[in-house]
Amino acid sequence: MVLQYIAVFFLLGGFFFLVVGVVGLLRLPDVYTRMHAMGKCDTLGAGMVLIGLMLLIMDITNITKLILIGVMIATINPIVTHLIAKTAYNRGTPMAEGSFLINDYVASQRRRRRQQVDNNKKGDGKS
Amino acid sequence: MFTRVKGDPFGSMFIFILLMTFWLLISASVDWQHILVGVIFCSLLTVFWSNLTISEKFKTDFSLKQIYLLIRYLILLAVEVISANITVALIVLNPRMPISPGIVIMRCDLERSLIRVLYVNSITLCPGTITVELEGNLLIVHAFTRQYGQEQENSPQYKRLLDLEATYKK
């Protein structure tokens, strides 16, 4: 009996996150922010629904199949999110107004090189 | 076709075991007929796929420490997924929607393809960031706010994955 209540908790939580994903899809301004909502909420929502179903079924062969479905959702969902965002970016889809752009590439390369120089100095001092 | 299999027998064995486990999980029975068919098709797939799944540069290598690091990383990832969903729910259900989205370009020093895929997926599943592009060591990330984008470079996942890659290099 307690198990069924736990299963219902997981199912309702999963439905809540799926609904949040759809609301985000409707409310957020552009493609990239919409992909935030879909990519994250679908993973946890479908995962929680699968856990609830596992608790209700309690049959080892079917549970392994549900676990496989969960693993596939958790790997495929971020990849498809990444693909949609990449295609949109390479096609030049406009972002929402007031978007920022931080280019940290050169700065991080410089930071890394300085770190390497420091490490080399330390190595020399020790030896 | 067969040269690669000879070149890396451990890698072929690993892929064969992986496919066989998948077959046994799906078929859910241990008759000798099932096992025979599974062995035939898994070995065929291993031979024909060997030039896709096994690369000359990175040989398959396995140790217990890597499994330990991978499990620790996956636990951290599960916690991050839950916190990311709560963040998205708070942003989406807030009537004022406190976002100022944008793009962050930064560097990624990982080399092995599996670890790169894990890193990209964990960025997508982390709160406030998704991956837009990863090419060479150039990584483009889309973030909800400035703060999420700047914190990403020092994220604990990245450090865990750097540790994991350091075990391969020895």
ipTM summary value: 0.79
User: Which residues, at least 6 apart from A122, have a Cβ–Cβ distance to it below 8 Å?
Assistant: none
Burial of B89 from C-beta contacts in 10 A (0-12 / 13-18 / 19+):
buried
What is the distance between the alpha carbons of residues B33 and A24, in angstroms, rounded to a whole number?
Answer: 50
Q: Closest to A44 (Cβ–Cβ): which among B82, B121, B124?
A: B82
Q: Using a CB–CB cutoff of 8 Å, tell me whether B140 touches chain A.
A: yes
Element (H, E) at B106: strand B102-107
Local structure of B104: helix, strand or coil: strand
A59: closest chain B residue by CA: B28
- Residue A103 is assigned to a structural domain of this protein: no
Residue A48 to chain B, least CA–CA distance (Å)? 11
pLDDT at A18: 92
- Residue A70 is assigned to a structural domain of this protein: yes
Asked if A99 and B101 come within 8 Å (Cβ–Cβ), the reply is yes
Which domains does chain B show, CATH number per domain? 2-53 (no CATH), 64-169 (3.30.70)
User: What is the amino acid identity at position A48?
Assistant: M
Spatial CA neighbour of B88 closest among A98, A42, A104, A61: A42
- Secondary structure of A18-41 as H, E, C letters: HHHHHHHHHHCCCHHHHHHHHHHH
Ramachandran quadrant class, B28 (left: phi over 0; alpha: psi -120 to 50; beta: rest): left
pLDDT at B13: 83
Q: What percent of chain A has a predicted confidence (pLDDT) above 70?
A: 96
Asked if B25 and A64 come within 8 Å (Cβ–Cβ), the reply is yes
Q: Which of A77-81, B8-12, B140-144 has the lowest mean pLDDT?
A: B8-12
Asked if A109 and B107 come within 8 Å (Cβ–Cβ), the reply is yes
Q: Tell me the CA end-to-end span of chain B in Å, nearest whole number.
A: 29
Q: B100: which chain A residues are within 8 Å (Cβ-Cβ)?
A: 98-100
Q: B124: which chain A residues are within 8 Å (Cβ-Cβ)?
A: 39-40, 78, 81-82
Query: pLDDT tens, A24-81?
Result: 889 888 888 888 888 888 889 999 999 999 999 888 888 888 998 998 998 899 889 9
* Cβ–Cβ < 8 Å for B4, B52: no
Sheet with B129-135, strands from edge to edge, namely: A100-103, B102-107, B138-143, B129-135
Taking CA atoms, A58 is separated from A4, A63, A71, B14, B30, in Å, by 11, 7, 19, 31, 21
Asked if B105 and A102 come within 8 Å (Cβ–Cβ), the reply is yes
Q: List the 100-119 stretch of A: residues with Cβ below 8 A of B.
A: 100-105, 108-109, 112
Query: pLDDT tens, B58-115?
Result: 666 667 888 888 888 889 888 888 988 898 888 888 888 788 888 888 888 888 778 8
Question: What's the mean per-residue pLDDT of chain B?
Answer: 81
Q: Using a CB–CB cutoff of 8 Å, tell me whether A37 touches chain B.
A: yes
What is the distance between the alpha carbons of residues B24 and B18, in angstroms, rounded to a whole number?
Answer: 10
Q: Using a CB–CB cutoff of 8 Å, tell me whether B55 touches chain A.
A: no
Asked if A61 and B92 come within 8 Å (Cβ–Cβ), the reply is no
Q: List the 111-130 stretch of B: residues with Cβ below 8 A of A.
A: 120-121, 124-125, 128, 130
Q: Using a CB–CB cutoff of 8 Å, tell me whether B166 touches chain A.
A: no
pTM of the predicted structure, to 2 decimals: 0.79
- Residue A105 is assigned to a structural domain of this protein: no
Burial of B143 from C-beta contacts in 10 A (0-12 / 13-18 / 19+):
buried
Residue A26 to chain B, least CA–CA distance (Å)? 10
pLDDT at B55: 62
| Packed helices A60-91 and B113-125: angle between N→C axes, nearest 10 degrees | 90
Query: pLDDT tens, B102-122?
Result: 888 888 888 877 888 888 888
Percentages helix, strand, coil for chain B (3-state, rounded to 5) are: 65, 10, 20
Bridge partners, residue B102, by sequence:
A100, B143
Tell me which of B141 and A96 has the higher pLDDT: B141
Backbone angles phi, psi at B10, to 5 degrees: -65, -40
pLDDT at A127: 45
Q: State how many domains chain A has.
A: 1
Element (H, E) at B140: strand B138-143
pLDDT at A50: 93
- Residue A118 is assigned to a structural domain of this protein: no
- Residue A44 is assigned to a structural domain of this protein: yes
Unique residue bearing structure tokens 């049959």: A59
Give residue A65's domain range.
2-97
Long-range contacts of A52-57 (CB under 8 A, 24+ apart): A52/A7, A52/A8, A52/A9, A52/A10, A52/A11, A52/A14, A53/A7, A53/A11, A55/A3, A55/A4, A55/A6, A55/A7, A55/A10, A56/A4, A56/A7
